[in-house]
Each structure stands twice: as C-alpha cells, then as structure tokens.
Amino acid sequence: KEHFDAVHSVTPKAGLLAMTAARFTYTPIRIHNLSGQVWASRDGFFRALLKSIDRITINNSTRLLSDSFSQITFLLNQGLVKTGQVEVLGSGSICGVDSNRFHPSADLRRTIRDTLGIPKVGFVILFVGRLNMDKGILDLAQAFAQLARHHDDVWLVVVGSDEEDIGDDFDRYCGDALTHVRRIGHTDSPENYMAAADVFALPSYRESFGLTVIEAAACGVPGIASRIYGLTDAVVEGKTGLMHPPGDVSAIHDCLLRLYTDSILRFRLGNAAMARAKTEFSMLRVTTEFSTYYERIFK
C-alpha cells in the first residue's frame, strides 16, 4: 500500500518478516542489520533450522550490514555470506553510546552502593543483561563464588530480567557468596549501576557486538568478556579489558582475581576503555555513519 523506497530491519525475527514482506511487495532497497545469530550456540536440528531462517533473510535482502567485523568473519566461515557482501559502518555498533547518560559519576557510585548496602571500598562486579544460559550467567555465578570464598570484600550486582527462570540455579551456584549478591531485575537506568561498578562481566556464548560492554566502558569500567565473535570487537584484549574462553569458569575467575588484585591495571584498562568508547562508538559518530550510508545508497 505504501510503496516504500527502502525497508531497513534489525534483529533476526524482524529481519525474516520485514525482508520477506519487502521482497513480496517489490521494495527496491532491502537492508538488514545482522545483529546476532540465535543458532550460534545451538546444535543439531534447531541449529540447522534457525540457520536456514537466517539464510532466507539474507537472500531476501539487497544490502547487508553488520554491527561487528568479527560477525562477518563468522558468517563467511559458516557459508552464509560472500566476501564483500556485508558492510560495517564505522567501528561497529548499531546505536553507539550516549556519553551524556553513560559517564563516571562519584555521586552515583556512592548513592547506588549505599542503596545496595555495599561498602565504598568493596570490589563490585557488574552484569547487565537478560538472565539466560546464552549469557553465561551461571558461569559467572560459579566464578564469583570461587573469588568470594577467599575475599570477603567482593560483590556481584546482577541487573536484568530472568528470562529462562534460572534464578534458583543462579542462587545455588553462588552458594555461601549469595549474601554478597544483589539482583536488581529489569531497569531503564543501567548507567547508574555501571557508575558504581569496578568491572563489567559479560561471559556470553553469543553476541553480535556487546553494546553493554561499551556503555560500561564509557563509565570508565573495564570489561571481562568471552573471547567470541562480537565481543572481540567490543573489547581490545589487554588494553580495554580481559577476555576468556566461553564457558571456562576457572578463566573467568582468574580474570576477576587479576583485576581485583591489580588496581593499577584496572584503572589503566578502564581509562583506555572510556577513551575508546567516546571516540569510536559515540552515538554521534554511529548516527552520522548511518546518515552518510543512506545518502550514498539513495543517490
């Protein structure tokens, strides 16, 4: 009915619906943002099924974008795209980070810690995201329990909704360290908790980019993340954060311990992460890149 000149979709389900509908209605420009593959952490029939759905979306698109370079490499290796078929705008990300929201704040750090009953000098590990198996939250619980067993000034703050009803498992893995865990649930103000954290942990099994790592970085908080596609774009290993193999609880613990014991390294990584977030992933830069892209394809 509307006869659009272009349709631009983001996320797997939206991409399948929008790109298919746009092709059926002869929309000439069909852009899809590849932003994570649900099948990346699946096996067997469901992996094949979900992968075939992504293939339909890709085939129905006339242009493809990715929010990370490493995602393109993954898709090339999986045979879903061809060399040169996918673009990354700027350094990656879809929306960038708003430095007016995400920035260090001594006042917020003090207020949030007081509200949560965490001492000013406590070492705070933060997780922000959906509580599900793909995010590696149970791995983080086990690693934190190991750290807390020998250090009574460490705290874990978990912000996000429990999508898969794994809260009981999470509590069980935390064990005696549960008294030093604060679960917040969903929030519209993740920046408040990032300002109160010392490190940000995202031990995920799949990510297309990992924007929360960049948002935490903008608050001067270094990241500890899985060495997987997407996150290798969000963290410069050894410069803005530390990385570990996905699912490796011992390695997660070692990363946490290293930043707990080495405050100089922690501050150096945090400062470098903040500088990178502001220069490479600012909201202004990302939106400018999209604007320039639209101007180019509509000429």
> Which pTM does this prediction carry?
0.94
Q: What is the pLDDT along the chain (299 residues), one digit of tens a residue?
A: 899 999 999 999 999 999 999 999 999 999 999 998 999 989 999 999 999 999 999 999 999 999 999 999 999 999 999 999 999 999 999 999 999 999 999 999 999 999 999 999 999 999 999 999 999 999 999 999 999 999 999 999 999 999 899 999 999 999 999 999 999 999 999 999 999 999 999 999 999 999 999 999 999 999 999 999 999 999 999 999 999 999 999 999 999 999 999 999 999 999 999 999 999 999 999 999 999 999 999 98
Type and span of the H or E element at 246: none
At residue 1, the pLDDT reads 87
CA 33, 68, 131, 155 torsion-angle sign: negative
d(CA 158, CA 272): 24
At residue 299, the pLDDT reads 84
Helix, strand, or coil (residue 158): strand
Give the tens place of pLDDT for each residue, 239-263. 999 999 999 999 999 999 999 999 9
Are the beta carbons of 77 and 99 closer than 8 angstroms? no
User: Distance from CA of residue 231 to its chain's centroid?
Assistant: 7
